[in-house]
Structure 1
Amino acid sequence: MYRYGKLPYNQLKEILSKLSREDKSVILGPAIGEDAALVDLGESILVVHADPITGAEKDIGWLSIHVAANDIATRGIRPRWLLSVILLPERSDDKLLNEIIDQMKRAADEIDATIIGGHTEITPGLDRPIIITTAIGEGKKEDVLTTSGARPGDKIILTKGAGIEGTAILASELYDKLVGKVEEDVLERAKLFIREISVVKDAMIAVKVGGVHAMHDPTEGGVLGGLQEMAMASNLGIYVEEEKIPVRRETEIICRTLGVDYLKLISSGTLLISVDPLKARDIVSELRKEGIDASIIGQFREGKERVVLKKDGSKVDLNVPIIDELWTILSIS
């Protein structure tokens, strides 16, 4: 029996092997850790990705657009087109549907993308809406990045902080449980983290500076999951120090109260960047000029040793599967 969230790597690897099919136009198809498929159109590359929103209800339409678009941006390409499948619970009304549509349009406008199609239905058995959005971009071959593109010696940059999306979801979904234990102004600020969910701006700034070899959007599994996927996709070792990973006060307080590890908390809004060491400080500087916090947190290395040095001196082995904390805490709350 599977747990909530992503499938374990061994099951996922087996499933992906069954999907293999020879097609010379497909540069990159289904692969663990890769954010988007790449299709050769001749003079350009089509970048395609799909993502669901299943763990949140508030602003679900807005979230669905940004979460899917993020995985196009991590390829170094701006997202242009969007298609969304909207699944609504029975007895949903026009008000709910119109709210979702308005949110989606607002999000698409924010990243200058166009919604070009999709599907909407009332689905039996649901207790909340589910939206699956496909995002598409197009770019030059020489501009497209992959998660597997990290190189030995590359510095690792992290933007904004750990657990950005998860902090906002916990503050919203578990507000009644947290109020009284956490100051209300902390919870209100934490809920606003959801406004920072997009990494399109982060990614476009980084590739403009140059020297970027790979980028990744650490969603489920949080920062640790994102680092693990980059290392595995690139077949490299990795060394990161927890004390260098930025984490906001609101995230620390909420996670400590709930007994949650913020490094394993879903972190859309955070961007991981693998970059030439000579360009790392330039990218950090440019991001900060644009109001985006960024820090160098570690480095990729030759070999298979993949560790995060914790503040207490212990080590997290990134060769072991990472389970996201969000599903665990929501399932028992």
Structure 2
Amino acid sequence: MEFKKGKLPPDFLKELLNLLPPLKKEIKIGPKIGGDSAIIEFKDLYLIVSQDPITFTEKEIGYYGVIVNANDVAVMGAKPLYFLFTLLLPEGFYKENIKRIFKEVKGVCKKLGIQVIGGHTEITPGLKKIILSGTMIGIRKKEKGLFPKKVNAGDFLFCIKEVPIEGISIIAKEKKEIVKDIIGEKKLNKFLKYNIKPGISIVKEAILISGFRGTLAMHDPTEGGIINGIWELCEFLNKGIIVYGDKIPVVKGFEKVFEYFNMDPLKTISSGSLLVAIKKGYEKNFELFCKKKRIGSTLIGIFKNLNEGRYILKKDRKVEILPCQDDISKIF
């Protein structure tokens, strides 16, 4: 069987996970579809560990590598503290370019208070492009309790910030001239910096939101966009959902570019946004909390029992939410 680009099909991934050895009792969350990080219990704390590669883009790969992994730790209610990364480089790669990647890693780690504690770098024969794979470690004090918590039917789903911030940034950088022709130089310059402002990091937002009393779970949608992210979160929580498609906050001003590449913004890589499950009865207070903290939030759905399915309402249609490939591959 030949697989498409991107994540493996969930059914096959489940087969692979079943091949792994059983977990010991200190592993509170292990490998699971839709999970962002592992959680390991110690006497006074939980150790949160995530791993993610950067494969879609080479531009600012050091920056992306740190942020994407930091996001995965933060959505578990922990501050990212320690980073390791493996850097695989194609033959003929210049010394100055390697230094540039390390400087990118240094810059974002310094900004977020993260220490680089190890890794591996090599020139890999047969490799066509750079691959950076990172591991982030964070700590959550035990007194704060285990996170995520149980989500029930009737609880609400919020989207933090807009989508797809990361996808727009990648398209603007990789297809600069085409984007310029479609939307003009002024808008292009704005979107070229989209990975910085509004930014693909949700570390600050996730840590703040994890302290809100009604927060039950969080997930950062990445590959496959917000649609895949919603499916992953529901799979992780073993829940169904109804999503109001017209409520999803999509970045304005990039519509014609998506049309040109025949891309769905809801299925385009979406680091920079955050999915949050909020307990029923706390939704109004959560909106006020976000407003006070200057965090953009939008109620986009309501959780259902698993047997009620997972659907997105699009105008007069109800469409099943299924795992999907990322539309970002259409530009390469």
Query: TM class by shorter-chain length?
Result: over 0.9
Summarize the Cα distance change of 1:144–1:184 in structure 2 as closer, same or farther, 3 Å threshold. Answer: farther
| Cα offsets for 1:164-217 (capped at 9, x unmatched) | 111111111112233322222222212221111111011112122221110001
Deviation at 1:279, TM superposition (A): 2.7
Deviation at 1:242, TM superposition (A): 1.2
| Cα offsets for 1:79-110 (capped at 9, x unmatched) | 11110111111111121111111110111122
* Secondary structure at 1:278 match in 2: coil
Q: Contact (CA 8 Å) 1:33, 1:233: kept in 2 or not?
A: yes
- Give the TM-score normalised by the residue count of structure 2: 0.94
- Mapped to 2, the partners of 1:110 and 1:80 lie a distance apart of 12
- Mapped to 1, the partners of 2:260 and 2:147 lie a distance apart of 39
- Mapped to 2, the partners of 1:293 and 1:251 lie a distance apart of 19
Match for 1:284: what amino acid? E
Match for 1:197: what amino acid? I
Q: Contact (CA 8 Å) 1:266, 1:324: kept in 2 or not?
A: yes
* Secondary structure at 1:281 match in 2: helix
The alignment covers a number of residue pairs equal to: 327
* Secondary structure at 1:110 match in 2: helix
Deviation at 1:119, TM superposition (A): 0.8
Summarize the Cα distance change of 1:135–1:115 in structure 2 as closer, same or farther, 3 Å threshold. Answer: same
Which of 224, 237, 241 pairs up with 2:240? Answer: 237
Summarize the Cα distance change of 1:180–1:22 in structure 2 as closer, same or farther, 3 Å threshold. Answer: closer
Aligned to 2:127: 126
- Give the TM-score normalised by the residue count of structure 1: 0.93
Aligned to 1:80: 81
Aligned to 2:27: 26
State the identity as a percent.
Answer: 35
- Mapped to 2, the partners of 1:78 and 1:143 lie a distance apart of 15
- Mapped to 2, the partners of 1:266 and 1:8 lie a distance apart of 17
Aligned residues: CA RMSD: 1.6
Summarize the Cα distance change of 1:22–1:63 in structure 2 as closer, same or farther, 3 Å threshold. Answer: closer
Summarize the Cα distance change of 1:202–1:183 in structure 2 as closer, same or farther, 3 Å threshold. Answer: same
Deviation at 1:161, TM superposition (A): 1.0
1:260 aligns with 2:255: no
Deviation at 1:162, TM superposition (A): 1.6
Deviation at 1:330, TM superposition (A): 2.5
Q: Contact (CA 8 Å) 2:167, 2:270: kept in 1 or not?
A: yes
* Secondary structure at 1:229 match in 2: helix
Listed as ranges, the gaps of 5+ residues in structure 1 are none
Aligned to 2:323: 321
- Mapped to 2, the partners of 1:298 and 1:122 lie a distance apart of 46
Listed as ranges, the gaps of 5+ residues in structure 2 are none
Aligned to 1:17: 18
- Mapped to 1, the partners of 2:281 and 2:7 lie a distance apart of 35
State how 1:181-260 maps to structure 2 within 5 Å. 181-195=182-196, 196-260=199-263
Match for 2:310: what amino acid? R
Deviation at 1:256, TM superposition (A): 2.4
| Cα offsets for 1:247-283 (capped at 9, x unmatched) | 1113433212322111111100110000113333333
